[in-house]
Structure 1
């Protein structure tokens, strides 16, 4: 291999699975330096982004706050298994919230240490504990992502009072905003913004074009939900234009979108149609262009088999209405063209839009049978110290 040009060697090695690359670091010092080469890390990440993403699962019972890696496996009969493997955890991190993923790095919020955030690569084992969050309000949402123009990773904290009553004449629709650039010792206060962000069981945001996106409740001047973006480079908030809806009876016209997602690199959003019991998935094919919104998918109601087995099938909380109304999320669009869905952080399902059928995803666990949070994730060699983060981004 010494006779080959360096760029060819890196191209060949970048095709290996991450487990093989990590094992190769133990061969010798030269291999260790090679595996840590920023060019290799960048090449490997780009290849992984073209594959179906892996899934990060946070356990709920019987052991709380452990991480698992889930990899989808399609069987000969067309059904899917989710093969899971327990991931190592940073030392002294006992209980946490799973707050986001970017370029193979995940953001964790330690609920014991004064809500202290961590950035962690569960495959390399590297982690970085960040400065404590500013103490403002009890309810807080974190966003984590990479700004490609400035080559910086940032964590954004949105905090607000949980006691807003929407029947008030003049409710306090605002959130305090703090930003931390990875490598900086302190959080910066950006003031307040006039939005009241939706908070799911885990902080759900998406990153696209260097911008974080959340759904916000209606404001004083708007009667429907809003999609709000935050540009990690300019640190400015902006409302994303929503599609015009000709049907005044539709939920999209009355309420707006309930969740956001990224499907094949496009900003996507979910709307729940009560009358027809449909989950509508809209895709913004040209980012920022209102006219490019298109309704790409419309699914019916599905209750995963595992949820019927674990809970009382006749209860309201396990009914089709309750599941479909607010508890179905879209994780990603697979290369097969099928949608990977999650249900109340308790089960996964596959929807085939061509055949219009649902399939359960059968879990194969090492040990933990239930989880509380789930997000899609790209496995990466990305290092966790601030100097390496900048170098890898430039690679």
Structure 2
């Protein structure tokens, strides 16, 4: 969706504009109930609507309504065939004629290859795939973006990211966990699929409000690269640690980072012990921290922590059975694209719970699947304009500025 070349709003007699005749609070209430795309389009109708759409009160009201109505957008990040692209879908469960549309990324000319670090309150955090010190905050609907100042960089550093917001402090932060290998450790890490057991580290934090990076020193945890970026729940980012076999406490653990006081802590695993030893990934389901343990052949056990931080509140909600959708399309198979690039790591990823109670699941390479936990049935989801292969980001469209009020 590109409004760059749209004409400015029409100059019209305000007396003919019914919205401008309403009290301001009623007009804002009406706009707050519209999908984000409709609010953005209203900016070009007339001067009064344009002013209303920029009202800070509308930003907060619209976000509140988005949460009440559970308006979910899906962002599809595609790296095929040449340049990175972002597409979006306003996911309306009762609409069978939904169309995937392309975003025009204003920084794509100087950052053609990027990775999406996270989505928080309508803001995307992206990094340059080739330069891990180039970071952007971007609202894809308003097209506002901010280039974050570069932080300290050392050659051959191994970097993990997170992007989050704390509901109490109201601060947005980018977390950059940097592991600094020496020459010998780097060779070992590369041979061991990125294991970073003996590497030095540095935790760097960027605060969107102060526009500054700061360092809080080392972290005692060696996080699994595949768990980057972190999963945001209750103002904390979460990662899986690496599998440790030869320490006093073997296995994997869940590590959290509190965005209010910049501190790490451990989150207790489910009692089953499966999370310690099997391939796993974290997700957010219904606002709860969740963990998916891989059983093989695409099957998953889904655990949900119903009360944050309470070990006894872990519940195995359901088991997602084995399923084999189309993962690599003919256009990729014939294009010389490495299957490892699309199937490496976990081949299935839990995304979110939809309003229907069904679970949205992504199979790597570009297949979106809806799973009904009551019936155990799977359904492939396809939409007009969908890219050939993609990574899915669950997103909420908002009017939030990239520089907080």
The answer to whether the 8 A contact 1:117-1:133 is kept is: no
Question: Which residue is 2:274 aligned to?
Answer: 251
Gaps of 5+ in 2: 1-18
Question: Which residue is 1:352 aligned to?
Answer: 372
SS in 2 for 1:260: strand
The answer to whether the 8 A contact 1:226-1:256 is kept is: no
Q: CA 1:173/1:41 → structure 2, altered by over 3 Å: closer, same or farther?
A: same
Question: Which residue is 2:6 aligned to?
Answer: none
Q: How far did 1:113 drift? A: 5.5
Q: How far did 1:325 drift? A: 8.1
Question: Which residue is 1:118 aligned to?
Answer: 136
The answer to whether the 8 A contact 1:197-1:216 is kept is: yes
Q: How far did 1:31 drift? A: 2.6
Aligned counterpart for 2:88 among listed residues 45, 58, 69? 69
SS in 1 for 2:100: strand
SS in 1 for 2:382: strand
**RMSD across aligned positions (CA):** 3.0
Question: Which residue is 1:362 aligned to?
Answer: 382
Note the 1:1-395 alignment, pairs <5 A: 1=19, 4-49=22-67, 50-72=69-91, 83-91=99-107, 92-111=110-129, 115-136=133-154, 137-160=156-179, 161=181, 163-164=188-189, 171-172=197-198, 175-200=201-226, 203-219=228-244, 220-245=247-272, 251-252=274-275, 254-255=276-277, 258-274=280-296, 278-307=299-328, 326-365=346-385, 368-371=387-390, 373-384=391-402, 386=403, 389=404, 391=405
Q: How far did 1:27 drift? A: 3.6
Q: How many residues are paired up?
A: 367
* Greater relative CO (CA pairs within 8 A, separation 6+): 1
Q: How far did 1:89 drift? A: 0.5
Counterpart Cα distance in 1 of 2:116 and 2:332: 25
Counterpart Cα distance in 2 of 1:67 and 1:154: 23
Task: Give CA-to-partner distance per residue, 1:336-379, whole Å, 9 cap, x none.
Answer: 1111111124221111111101111124226x4222x3211111
Q: CA 1:325/1:18 → structure 2, altered by over 3 Å: closer, same or farther?
A: closer
Normalized per residue, the structure richer in strand is 1
SS in 2 for 1:192: coil
Counterpart Cα distance in 1 of 2:200 and 2:380: 40
**Which piece of structure 1 moves more, 20-29 or 291-300?**
20-29
SS in 2 for 1:61: coil
Counterpart Cα distance in 2 of 1:310 and 1:223: 43
Counterpart Cα distance in 1 of 2:98 and 2:52: 32
Which of structure 1's runs of 4+ aligned residues deviate more than 6 A? 322-325
Q: How far did 1:217 drift? A: 1.0
Task: Give CA-to-partner distance per residue, 1:149-182, whole Å, 9 cap, x none.
Answer: 1111110001224643779xx9416532100001
SS in 2 for 1:123: coil
The answer to whether the 8 A contact 1:272-1:325 is kept is: no
Gaps of 5+ in 1: none
The answer to whether the 8 A contact 2:111-2:128 is kept is: yes
SS in 1 for 2:49: helix
Question: Which residue is 2:9 aligned to?
Answer: none
Q: CA 1:140/1:81 → structure 2, altered by over 3 Å: closer, same or farther?
A: farther
